[in-house]
């Protein structure tokens, strides 16, 4: 029974870069770009990063797929690590599309990472049932991303708990009552007297995810 040859040892810098790449793949689902590695390790030249990547590849720690020989971006994005599964959820961000007059297409090599898009970890998602927020561009079946907060500003879209029932509405504070206002002109608000009812703000709207 044969035993695999041990991999050559890494230098301190190579090990740090390897660990950075591995963590990036595990948490975000894709490898970092060369510019990300430059920034993280204060390496002034992309060629310096490429030297480290070539060393990691030659020592068997990473694999690299080079789709475009002259594209450093493609080389960076082509990194894989044997036995390391991609985590997180991201999609290719290929550019900006006009909803009005057409604009020139500019190729990009970026990805949209949902966690980075909303900027914080204190988030949760709920699925919308019903049409009470339809005039606020939130439809039945949408997923709303909510930032956890126990307080809110007047007029913010919130998820609130009223007597153990959860609802999403527009928050309107009046003199002695709280109005959880639907954004649907055919529906009446939920009027809450905080002296008599248990009402809690669970969070405010951060974004809407819709599958078409």
Q: Which residues are catalytic?
A: 132, 169
- Residue 66: DSSP 8-state: -
Q: What are phi and psi of 111, to 5 degrees?
A: -135, 150
Buried-exposed string 50-66: b where 16+ CB fall within 10 A, e elsewhere: bebbebbeeeebbebee
Asked whether 29 and 116 are in contact (CB, 8 A), the reply is: no
Phi/psi-derived region of residue 155, left when phi > 0, alpha when psi is between -120 and 50, beta in every other case: left
Helices 34-41 and 12-28: angle between axes, nearest 10 degrees: 130
**Which DSSP string corresponds to 172-208?**
EE-SS-EEEE-SSTTSPPEEE-TTTS-EEEEEEEEEE
């Amino acid at each position: 029974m044969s035993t695999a040859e041990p991999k050559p040892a890494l230098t301190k810098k190579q090990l740090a870069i390897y660990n950075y790449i591995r963590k990036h793949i595990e948490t975000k689902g894709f490898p970092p770009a060369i510019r990300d590695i430059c920034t993280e390790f204060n390496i002034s030249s992309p060629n310096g990063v490429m030297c480290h990547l070539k060393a990691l590849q030659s020592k068997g720690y990473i694999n690299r797929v080079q789709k475009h020989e002259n594209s450093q971006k493609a080389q960076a994005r082509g990194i894989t690590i044997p036995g390391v599964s991609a985590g997180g959820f991201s999609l290719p961000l290929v550019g900006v599309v006009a909803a009005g007059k057409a604009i020139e297409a500019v190729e990009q090599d970026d990805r949209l990472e949902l966690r980075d898009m909303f900027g914080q970890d204190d988030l949760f998602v709920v699925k919308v049932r019903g049409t009470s927020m339809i005039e606020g561009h939130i439809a039945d079946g949408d997923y709303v991303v909510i930032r956890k907060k126990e307080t809110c500003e007047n007029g913010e879209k919130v998820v609130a708990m009223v007597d153990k029932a959860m609802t999403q509405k527009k928050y309107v504070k009046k003199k002695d009552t709280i109005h959880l206002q639907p954004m649907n002109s055919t529906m009446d608000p939920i009027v809450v007297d905080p002296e008599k009812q248990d009402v809690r703000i669970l969070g405010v709207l951060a974004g809407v995810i819709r599958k078409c």
